[in-house]
Amino acid sequence: MRDRTIDFSAFEKKISVIFNDKDLLREAFTHRSYINENKGAVFSHNERLEFLGDAVLELVITAYLFKKYPNETEGVLTSYRAALVNTNSISAAAHELGMDDFLLLSRGEARDTGKARQYILANTFEAMIGAIYLDQGFDVAQTFIAESLFGKTDEIVRKELWRDAKSTFQEKAQEKVGITPSYQVVDEYGPDHDKEFTVGVFLGDEQVAKATGKSKQEAEQGAALRALVARGWT
């Protein structure tokens, strides 16, 4: 969506948060591409809010997992957290909240419904956390995160989706089909300072799955995790 006069009240009602500063709410939904295409815009894009929200998200999730799993090691808790806040997880949370309908994007970005949109949604989710934190305080931001993400934890732990997916997929592939997986970058998106990578995981010539991440390593892990699910090896 590209109209700067968009009414965000439906989203406020959805998350039960009424912003004092409506400009913060609008900024959270504003992608850099929209500002680039609308040079006269008097508000900013959401990257600074994303930076702040990422830090709040990590703190809230870390504290939650620390209390929920008192007997787990640091390494396991770190893996739980990584699985809970990765691009796939938080973009899914954003989609469930209907954030797609409020994005302020350029014409080109608005047409893209693939992996690039998934990444934009993940970044917007983090920006929204930053906006809520600034406008409403830590407790309200914590509640927003809890209602959006905490419920995904049990499935991640039960299905062991937190494990090193690359190692697990390699072990399963060698055991079941006698092939060592390979990984290949199939797409790159964004400027050099904020590059996003889409990586495919292959068994021989067959691409089993692909995923997008801020680094090749993150994308590879995501692709391996999706491959495990696709093959029913979880």
Q: Which residues contact 164 (CB under 8 A, 6 or more apart)?
A: 79, 221
Q: Given 7, 37, 47, 54, which residue is catalytic?
A: 54
Query: Cβ distance 119 to 197 under 8 Å?
Result: no
Annotated binding site: 50, 123, 126
Annotated binding site for Mg(2+): 50, 123, 126
- Tens digit of pLDDT for each residue in 108-130? 766 666 667 788 999 999 999 99
Angle at the Cα of 204 from the Cα atoms of 200 and 205, rounded to 5 degrees: 70
pLDDT at 109: 67
Is 192 annotated as catalytic? no
- Tens digit of pLDDT for each residue in 78-117? 888 888 898 888 999 999 999 999 999 887 766 666 667 7
Report the chain's terminal Cα–Cα distance, integer Å: 38
- Spatial CA neighbour of 32 closest among 44, 40, 49: 44
Residue 5 pLDDT level (bands cut at 50, 70, 90): low
The amino acid at residue 87 is T
Is 54 annotated as catalytic? yes
- Domains of the chain in sequence order: 9-158 (1.10.1520.10), 165-231 (3.30.160.20)
Q: Given 27, 109, 126, 196, which residue is catalytic?
A: 126
- Spatial CA neighbour of 174 closest among 130, 233, 125, 117: 233
pLDDT at 1: 44
CA-to-CA distance for 146 and 136, rounded, in angstroms? 15
Q: Which residues contact 79 (CB under 8 A, 6 or more apart)?
A: 162, 163, 164
Between 87 and 51, the higher pLDDT residue: 51
